[in-house]
């Protein structure tokens, strides 16, 4: 089955798209064509001149603050710990940079792994529910590949890029097997994927052993880059960033004191609310009650307990359909609390199920799809023309991630270690989802937003537009903070 799907997708991905009227695909694309500045040129020179027995002399990136965490939300109550993690970039000191390109290359293969077929597994909480997300991510990736081939493919050799597609079926450990197949059997040069948090963690550990670059564009698990694997980058704002913004809105702006959580009883729900729980406690307003529900299950017990707890606002972390049904049941129980949710609820499915109850719902969101950006409009038009549907966040981030991979491969050549190096030192990427800025852990720390449903659709707001206060983000030197904390 996997081979059949792979062959079909490969054929579709490598053939140029020709509209029904026979005209060639227009050359206008959202490709940003990021120039190589003097700093990046020096990095490329060092990467390409690396000694077989020594890593290139590359400056190790160091952040002043982890994940842009406000001082009053950081652990240890303002006391500087003995050691702080995730501030210094992981470097790859192993071999491989001097391996020459193969003599005969017919296509340059890039792997894709994502949930594109329905399955049943324990990891996803029963029947899988991410196929719609995975197929949109695949479409965005495919569009980037097709546009790259229209520009000449891999320009150094004049050969096309080829997308090798495999399904992330959600079975525990199966994603690791797929990474092995992509790396050793299909011999791809890099991989894009996936979405499910548990499977992503397995996949990147196999990527570490196989020493193959992996770009993630769909998993918002805050712990994803905390694995400190130098072969992995993520190009989407995670649940940590979105959780901080929601927490600041709840407590610093609105002044709520009693907040409850209802979440899916899977990894996405469990890890997604962790930063909100920590922020609430450190800001002096611990979560009153956290209730977990089985995906697609009944919510009566959970909502009755939240109602008795007398919470002022409710945060939901789970899928769109569950979120909408929970909201409808809340309103049917005369629970009028403001409803906050994760980015998965920003969808047509949520609005269709929730109906009039969707009004005023606020969700975290990793980007602003309504901003004025010519690249975004070109991408949106090209995506609609190619696939006949609107792109969502997974399509847009898949497109950006694949374009970043293609840019890195064009400049690094066909060498996995050098591709990894270029990705790790890539300049700020002007994507269709906004400017992608990587932290020392190679995680996207660009701006995140709040989406609010108003009358006829979702509207997206920045922290500044909503006048949401923010805690102080200190420099790395905590001396002044410690002095200030002394009574």
Are 440 and 224 in contact by the 8 Å Cβ rule? The answer is: no
Q: How many whole angstroms separate alpha carbon 8 and alpha carbon 473?
A: 50
Backbone angles phi, psi at 154, to 5 degrees: -75, 105
Lowest mean pLDDT among 222-226, 333-337, 483-487: 483-487
Residue 480 has pLDDT above 50, yes or no: no
d(Cα 375, Cα 3) in Å, to the nearest integer? 35
pLDDT over 70 (residue 340): yes
H/E run at residue 349: helix 348-354
pLDDT in tens, 45-98: 999 998 888 889 998 989 988 888 999 999 887 788 888 899 999 999 998 999
Look at residue 6 in the predicted model and tell me its pLDDT: 42
Q: Which residues are bridge partners to 201 per DSSP?
A: none
Going through 172-284 in order, the beta strands assigned E by DSSP cover: 191-192, 214-216, 232-234, 259-264
> What pLDDT is attached to residue 130?
84
Give yes or no for residue 16 having a pLDDT over 50.
no
Domains and CATH numbers, the chain: 2-60+91-237+372-436 (3.40.50.2300), 240-365+455-461 (3.40.50.2300)
Cβ distance 441 to 355 under 8 Å?
Answer: no
Percent of the chain with pLDDT over 90: 76
- Please answer whether residues 427 and 333 qualify as being in contact, where contact means their C-beta atoms are separated by less than 8 angstroms: no
Q: Considering only CA atoms, give the Rg of the chain.
A: 23
Distance CA 433, CA 400 (A): 7
For 343-381, give one letter per residue: b (16+ CB within 10 A) or e.
bbbbbeebbebbeebbeebbbbbbbbbeeebebbebbbe
Question: Could you tell me the pLDDT band of residue 122, with boundaries at 50, 70 and 90?
Answer: low
Q: Does the pLDDT value for residue 5 go beyond 60?
A: no
Task: Give per-residue pLDDT as tens, 400-430.
Answer: 999 999 999 999 999 999 999 999 999 899 9
The whole-number pLDDT of residue 129 equals 64
Nearest to 69 by CA among 218, 245, 216: 245
pLDDT value at position 23? 39
Mean pLDDT across 208-213: 97
Mean per-residue pLDDT, 316-330 = 97
The packing angle between helices 274-282 and 239-247, to 10°, is 40
Position 123 confidence tier, pLDDT thresholds 50, 70, 90: low
- Under DSSP, is residue 35 helix (H, G, I), strand (E, B) or coil? coil
Closest CA to 270 of 300, 237, 288, 292: 292
Nearest to 395 by CA among 195, 227, 228: 195
What integer best gives the mean pLDDT of the chain? 89
Give backbone dihedrals phi and psi of 464, rounded to 5 degrees, phi first: -65, -40
Q: Mean pLDDT throughout 421-446?
A: 95
Eight-state DSSP code of residue 431: E
Please state, in angstroms and rounded to a whole number, the distance separating the CA atoms of residues 166 and 115. Answer: 9
In tens, the pLDDT along 24-38 reads: 444 579 999 899 999
Least confident interval from 73-87, 100-114, 138-152, 313-327: 73-87
Query: Hey, what are 388's tokens?
Result: 């006949």
Res. 366: pLDDT tops 80: yes
- Rounded Cα distance, 340 and 261, in Å: 9
pLDDT digits (tens, 9 = 90+) for 126-176: 556 689 999 999 999 999 999 999 999 999 999 999 999 999 976 767 889
What pLDDT score was predicted for residue 68?
Answer: 87
Comparing C-alpha atoms, which of 268, 247, 391, 246 is closest to residue 323?
Answer: 268
Which two structure tokens, joined as six digits, stand for 199?
Answer: 């499977």
pLDDT over 70, % of the chain:
89
How far apart, in whole angstroms, are the C-alpha atoms of residue 191 and residue 334? 48
| Whole-number pLDDT of residue 475 | 62
Contact criterion met (CB below 8 Å) for 369 and 399: no
Tokens (6 digits) for 439 = 């932290």
Beta strands 289-293 and 339-341: pairing type? unpaired
Looking at residue 297, its pLDDT comes to 81
Residue 392 vs residue 175, higher pLDDT: 392
Q: Over 50: is that where the pLDDT of 231 sits?
A: yes
- For 173-190, write each residue's pLDDT tens digit: 788 999 999 999 999 999
Range in 14-18, 70-74, 200-204 with the lowest mean pLDDT: 14-18
Q: What is the pLDDT of residues 241-277, one digit of tens each?
A: 999 999 999 999 999 999 999 999 999 999 999 999 9
Residues contacting residue 311 through CB under 8 Å, at least 6 positions apart:
258, 259, 260, 288, 289, 337
Bridge partners of residue 314, in order along the sequence: 260, 339
* Residue 407 · residue 426 · CB < 8 Å: yes
């Amino acid at each position: 089955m996997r081979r059949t799907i792979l062959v079909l997708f490969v054929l579709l991905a490598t053939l140029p798209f020709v509209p029904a009227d026979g005209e060639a695909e227009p050359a206008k694309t959202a490709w940003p064509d990021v120039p190589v500045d003097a700093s990046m040129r020096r990095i490329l020179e060092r990467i390409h001149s690396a000694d077989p027995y020594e890593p290139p002399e590359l400056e190790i990136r160091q952040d002043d603050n982890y994940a842009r965490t406000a001082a009053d939300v950081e652990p240890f109550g303002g006391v500087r710990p003995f050691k702080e993690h995730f501030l210094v970039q992981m470097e790859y000191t192993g071999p491989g940079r001097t391996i020459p390109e193969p003599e005969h290359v017919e296509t340059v293969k890039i792997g894709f792994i994502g949930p594109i077929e329905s399955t049943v597994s324990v990891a996803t909480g029963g029947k899988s529910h991410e196929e719609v997300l995975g197929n949109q991510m695949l479409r965005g990736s495919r569009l980037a590949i097709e546009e790259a081939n229209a520009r000449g493919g891999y320009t150094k050799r004049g050969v096309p890029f080829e997308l090798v597609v495999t399904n992330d079926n959600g079975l525990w450990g199966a994603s690791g097997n797929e990474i092995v197949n992509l790396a050793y059997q299909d011999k791809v040069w890099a991989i894009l994927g996936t979405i499910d948090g548990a499977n992503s963690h397995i996949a990147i550990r196999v990527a570490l052993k196989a020493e193959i670059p992996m770009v993630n564009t769909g998993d918002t698990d805050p712990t994803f880059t905390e694995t400190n694997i130098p072969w992995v980058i993520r190009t989407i704002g995670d649940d940590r960033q979105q959780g901080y913004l929601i927490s600041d809105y709840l407590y610093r702006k609105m002044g709520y004191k009693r907040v409850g959580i209802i979440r899916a009883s899977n990894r996405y729900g469990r890890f997604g609310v962790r930063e909100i729980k920590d922020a609430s406690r450190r800001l002096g307003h611990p979560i009153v009650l956290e209730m977990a529900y089985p995906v697609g299950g009944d919510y009566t017990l959970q909502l009755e307990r939240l109602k008795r707890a007398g919470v002022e606002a409710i945060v939901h972390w789970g899928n769109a359909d569950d979120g909408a049904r929970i909201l409808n049941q809340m309103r049917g129980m005369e629970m009028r609390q403001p409803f906050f949710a994760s980015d998965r609820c920003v969808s047509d499915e949520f609005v269709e199920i929730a109906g009039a109850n969707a009004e005023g719902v606020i969700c975290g969101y990793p980007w602003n799809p309504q901003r004025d950006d010519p690249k975004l409009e070109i991408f949106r038009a090209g995506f609609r023309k190619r696939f006949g549907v609107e792109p969502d966040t997974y399509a847009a981030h898949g497109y950006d991630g694949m374009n970043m991979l293609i840019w890195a491969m064009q400049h690094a050549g066909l060498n996995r270690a050098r591709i990894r190096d270029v990705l790790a030192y890539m300049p700020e990427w002007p994507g269709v989802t906004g400017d992608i800025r990587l932290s020392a852990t190679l995680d996207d720390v660009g701006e995140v937003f709040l989406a609010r449903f108003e009358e006829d659709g979702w509207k997206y707001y920045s922290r500044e537009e909503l006048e949401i206060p923010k805690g102080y983000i200190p420099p790395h030197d905590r001396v002044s903070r410690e002095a200030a904390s002394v009574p």
